[in-house]
């Protein structure tokens, strides 16, 4: 039978592979290129934040901070569009 040593953790290779996969997937999600530039005017439409028009002030991963007159609203970049 196999031995389990008391001094070390008993991780399986499957857990390490899954952990590596999750880490790579999250890293790729954070590096998604947001198609909007800082200072560009866009419209954000979200059921929770509502619809706001403003300039892109912050880009953090997949989230974009939309600067309005008095506040910054954060949207997922897929909820933004350029004005007509």
Helix (H, G, I), strand (E, B) or coil at 17: helix
The answer to whether position 30 is within a domain reads: no
The tally of domains found in the chain comes to: 1
Range of the domain at 75: 41-81
More confident residue, 84 or 6: 84
CA dihedral 33, 23, 65, 55 (to 10 degrees): 0
More confident residue, 68 or 14: 68
The answer to whether position 20 is within a domain reads: no
The answer to whether position 21 is within a domain reads: no
Residues 18-71: tens digit of each pLDDT: 788 888 887 776 666 889 999 999 999 988 878 999 999 999 878 899 999 999
Q: pTM of the entire structure? A: 0.61
């Amino acid at each position: 039978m196999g031995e389990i040593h008391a001094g070390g953790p008993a991780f399986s290779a499957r857990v390490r592979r899954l952990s590596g996969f999750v880490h790579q997937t999250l890293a790729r999600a954070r590096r998604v290129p947001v198609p909007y530039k800082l200072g560009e005017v866009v419209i954000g439409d979200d059921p929770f934040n509502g619809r706001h028009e403003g300039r892109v002030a912050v880009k953090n991963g997949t989230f974009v901070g939309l600067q309005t007159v008095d506040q910054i609203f954060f949207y997922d970049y897929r909820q933004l569009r350029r004005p007509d």
